[in-house]
Structure 1
């Protein structure tokens, strides 16, 4: 029997979720501020301010799941944008009974010593990590109180089609594809986990469907860690292009730039991710959901094709 799902956001994760759900025959509504059409057959699009709980509730009434794939693009505005948006999503989930499925990231953990696992505490001290940790804590508390059903999946840095300028790798790939040298944050030779956006969508859909998985966080199955230099080189190779020079942008330089640029200050706060190994342990998710990451050579091809498109 066809079910109804509401997806907030039409970025790479939201679009992939909508596509997966539509392909299996479910009804899907994608809500964005602009109401822009994703081009997906059978998917309904609505223009909506998701921080308006009354409007969001009207759209979500009767839905099986509500997917939070929102991604406020301006780092400097997170404290203003996220709290009312998250409150509206929680309120809507409680009013409608829809499963609240959250697209999370690794920020809540803060700097770590060893692989990140779901059982690690959310110990971030930077304001973005604290904010994201609080958003999940609020959802988990509502779940434990029996007010909603919630689950969050956490992904490493995105690769794959649609990531564009917001992806750490894809922001430099256009220049690299033209044979130009590129600059990457921090150390370029350390192991780092990267997650294909399709796999984020696959895991979130599986988690929303699996009621036994609710009330906790899960890691998105991802390929073996690779250094920044290695990823750029392998992406280029998939396009038949030779390696380029990958320069290091030191954390100290980011801090200096942050004295005059609010955006660079925000990026500098997260530079710890690139000064030590930053990898995930996704073994629980693989075992629970039976999901393996998209093969890396395919990830490379999809990423480059997405940029060229």
Structure 2
């Protein structure tokens, strides 16, 4: 049995890939509501409760961890949630495939590879680093079998809360300027959500993935301005952007906790932010969806939503 924790965009992308492979899927979230599919079971559980977490993992073969607390509650909740998940996976004897981002590396002046040291000085970066170290240590100790897939800022169908989410795509679809973080002329790696989901399922189906960190496949990095131009080309409009700096985020943060929490991560958009995912592609033969194709799929989803 495959269990997917979280029914956000990434969890649903993992679900879709498992279904494409003919695998049974059970989804877990805090509401018990989810995709209305006969072949998918949705279970309600509070991952802050270790007993409930262990219960929903019984009988699992592979557990895909795609759940997270509210962005502004990472430091107080995320570590405890992971502890419960690790203990539940260990009790069930399941492989644990964990989705992570790149916060633990901190500001870098080079292309990011999996062997970079953790040098984060931000609050959320330190949380991510500590959690990742704990996962790998649990694997080394033989407590649980773990593989980690790390992705950059993602986009795609159902991705709303992202630097290239709803507030990026919808203005372009309406022929209006799109707000972007930092310097739009610095290169940035963006991860297509469907590639992320496919990569995690690939890790879950290969024993050689265990005990290691993998950057999931990404298309070549482009500047955010170039990314917006590609969206405009698909939409059939001339795109325009308006950079959003620290001051604007501070003003927004007075009313929106997520905006306030984004300020410390703005460094990712102020210099080149390029991820090397060649290790994954070389090992498993999977490459990223070309940007033109992934953006077209994303635009189609936003149009259907509108």
**Above 0.5 in TM-score?**
yes
Partner of 2:56: 59
Match of 1:75 in 2: 71
- How many Å apart are 1:178 and its aligned residue? 0.8
Match of 1:230 among 222, 226, 230: 226
Give TM-score scaled by structure 2 length. Answer: 0.94
Partner of 1:140: 136
Q: How does 1:120-199 map to 2 (within 5 A)?
A: 120-199=116-195
CA 1:218/1:269 → structure 2, altered by over 3 Å: closer, same or farther?
A: same
Q: Which residue of 2 aligns with 1:116?
A: 112
Equivalent residues of 1:66, 1:93 under 8 A apart: yes
Q: Counterpart in 2 of 1:282?
A: 277
Instruction: Show the 5 A alignment for 1:295-306.
Output: 295-306=290-301
- Deviation larger for 114-123 or 158-167: 158-167
Pair 1:19–1:262, CA change in 2 (3 A): closer
Aligned equivalents of 1:300 and 1:130: distance in 2?
A: 32
Cα offset for 1:41? 4.2
- Structure 1 residue 228, shift from structure 2 partner: 1.1
**What pairs with 1:5-16 in structure 2 (closer than 5 Å)?**
5-16=2-13
TM-score (norm 1): 0.93
Task: State the alpha-carbon separation in 2 of the partners of residues 170 and 106 from structure 1.
Answer: 21
Unpaired segments ≥5 residues, structure 2: none
Give the drift of 1:58.
2.0
- Conserved? CA contact 1:8–1:50, under 8 Å: no
User: Which residue number corresponds to residue 261 of structure 2?
Assistant: 266
**Matched residue, 1:251:** 246
| C-alpha distance 51-185 of structure 1, shift in aligned 2 (>3 A) | same
Deviation at 1:255, TM superposition (A): 4.8
Task: Give yes or no for contact 2:45–2:56 (8 Å, CA) kept in 1.
Answer: no
Change over 3 Å in CA distance of 1:106–1:38 after alignment to 2: same
Contact 2:228 2:240 in 1 (8 A): no
Which of 205, 218, 230 pairs up with 2:201? 205
Contact kept, 8 Å, 2:32 with 2:43, in 1: the verdict is yes
Task: Kindly state the Cα deviation for residue 56 of structure 1 after the two structures are TM-superposed.
Answer: 2.2
Deviations 1:92-142 (A, max 9, x none): 111111111101101111100111110001211101010011111111111
**1:253-279 superposed Cα distances (whole Å, 9 cap, x missing partner):** 435665786543311100100110001
Query: What stretches of structure 1 of length at least 5 have no aligned partner?
Result: none
The Cα offsets for residues 46-86 of structure 1, whole Å up to 9 and x where unpaired, read as 111122222222222121111110133x3221122212211
Structure 1 position 293 matched with structure 2 position 293: no
* Residue 106 (str. 1) matches residue 131 (str. 2): no
Indicate how the Cα distance of structure 1 residues 94 and 265 shifts in structure 2: closer, same or farther if over 3 A, else same.
same
Q: Which residues of 2 match residues 22-37 of structure 1 at below 5 A? A: 22-37=19-34
Once superposed, what is the RMSD of the aligned Cα atoms? 1.7
Alignment partners' CA distance in 1, 2:26 and 2:168 = 33
Q: Is the 8 A contact 1:219 1:285 kept in 2?
A: yes
SS in 2 for 1:152: strand
- Equivalent-residue separation in structure 2 for 1:167 and 1:69 (angstroms): 19
For the residue of structure 2 that corresponds to 1:39, the secondary structure is coil
User: How many equivalent pairs are there?
Assistant: 304
C-alpha distance in structure 2 between counterparts of 1:43 and 1:99, whole Å: 20
Question: Given that residues 10 and 31 in structure 1 are in contact (C-alpha distance below 8 angstroms), is that contact kept between their aligned partners in structure 2?
Answer: yes
